[in-house]
Structure 1
Amino acid sequence: MQIPKPTEQDKEVFRSLISESPAVQIKPMFGNLGAFVNGNMFAGLFGSALGVRLVDETTRSELEAIEGTGPFGPDERPMGGYTALPSSWHSTPELASSWIQTALSEVAALPAKQPKTRGKK
Structure 2
Amino acid sequence: MDMPKATNEDKERFRAVVPVHPDVTIKPMFGNLGAFVNGNMFAGLFGPTIGVKLAEADKQELEGTERTVPFGPPERPMGGYTGLPEVWNAEGDGDDARARAWAEKAYAHVSALPPKAPKAAASKAAAPKAVKK
Settle same-fold status: TM greater than 0.5: yes
Give the drift of 1:105: 0.2
1:67 paired with 2:70, answer: no
Segment of structure 1 superposing worse, 73-82 or 96-105:
73-82
The 2-side partners of 1:13 and 1:86 are apart by 14
Q: Could you tell me which amino acid in structure 1 is paired with residue 34 of structure 2? A: G
* Runs (5+) with no aligned partner, structure 1: none
Deviations 1:37-82 (A, max 9, x none): 000000010001110001x211111011133202211111111110
The 1-side partners of 2:74 and 2:38 are apart by 28
Residue equivalent to 2:107:
104
Counterpart of 2:58 in 1: which secondary structure? helix
Counterpart of 1:28 in 2: which secondary structure? strand
The 1-side partners of 2:70 and 2:16 are apart by 23
Give the counterpart of 2:96 among 61, 72, 93: 93
Counterpart of 1:11 in 2: which secondary structure? helix
Check the 8 A contact 2:27/2:34 in 1, yes or no. Answer: yes
Counterpart of 2:34 in 1: which secondary structure? strand
The 1-side partners of 2:56 and 2:21 are apart by 26
Q: Could you tell me which amino acid in structure 1 is paired with residue 115 of structure 2? A: A
Residue equivalent to 2:44:
44
Q: Could you tell me which amino acid in structure 1 is paired with residue 59 of structure 2? A: R
Q: Between Structure 1 and Structure 2, how many residues are aligned?
A: 120
Give the drift of 1:117: 1.0
Residue equivalent to 1:83:
82
Structure-2-length-normalised TM-score: 0.85
The 2-side partners of 1:58 and 1:21 are apart by 24
Segment of structure 1 superposing worse, 68-77 or 78-87:
68-77
Structure-1-length-normalised TM-score: 0.93
Counterpart of 1:70 in 2: which secondary structure? coil
Check the 8 A contact 2:66/2:85 in 1, yes or no. Answer: yes
Give the drift of 1:17: 1.5
Larger radius of gyration: 2
Check the 8 A contact 1:50/1:89 in 2, yes or no. Answer: no
The 2-side partners of 1:85 and 1:76 are apart by 18
* Runs (5+) with no aligned partner, structure 2: 125-133
